[in-house]
Amino acid sequence: MNHVSKIGIMGGTFDPIHYGHLVSAEGARDEVGLDQVIFVPTGRPPHKSNYNITNSQDRYLMTVLATASNHYFHASSMEVDRPGFSYTIDTVQSVVEMYPGAQIYFITGADAVLDILTWKSVEQLLSLCYIIAVTRPSYQLDKLWDRLGHILHCPKRRIISMEVPALAISSTDIRRRVREGMTIKYLLPEPVEDYIAKHKLYKQ
């Protein structure tokens, strides 16, 4: 029997990428048996026009540094390079074209998945890939199923949840720590920590 390849797409703003993201991707890879995980930092998020996010090149380069040591991980600049807003449907369609016949798993934070009904071409998206919603400890999963189970005619089985204790780490907290002069050691890979210091990110 032919092996059907399973490709994970790890989507996020990654501002900055941290161990919670890496542990989530590795956990999903192990649990689902993914052949590889492609980390795709968002270029221009459609839902964050008022939020001052870090330059996409910096976020992409930090993602490259963070994923370099894992044989199964790759970083892609496809959203960073694509003009206009970054829509997940476009990313998933590109990966489907790159890997015909593969099963695609889009991995991201459960809070982002909560809003999936507002995403572009959501029904088509759910027909092309599985969604892995990773949650922080003590996340109330009912929230997710209440919202997605009723409103959408989407079979629940295409959305999988996965609790990741390491997601107690958050990008928001890391940005705050840098701003307040606190240590971020052991919250993210050292090369990313060095990149943040060298480029004076998150100082204000």
Interaction site with ligand NAP (CB under 6 A): 10-13, 20-21, 24, 42, 45-47, 86-88, 107-109, 111-112, 119-120, 134, 167, 170-172
Q: How far apart are CA 192 and CA 45, in angstroms?
A: 22
Nearer to ligand NAP, 107 or 201 (CB): 107
Nearer to ligand NAP, 103 or 121 (CB): 121
Nearer to ligand NAP, 102 or 122 (CB): 122
Nearer to ligand NAP, 6 or 87 (CB): 87
CB of 173 to ligand NAP, least distance (A): 8
CB of 4 to ligand NAP, least distance (A): 24
Query: Which position's Cβ is nearest ligand NAP?
Result: 109
CB of 194 to ligand NAP, least distance (A): 20
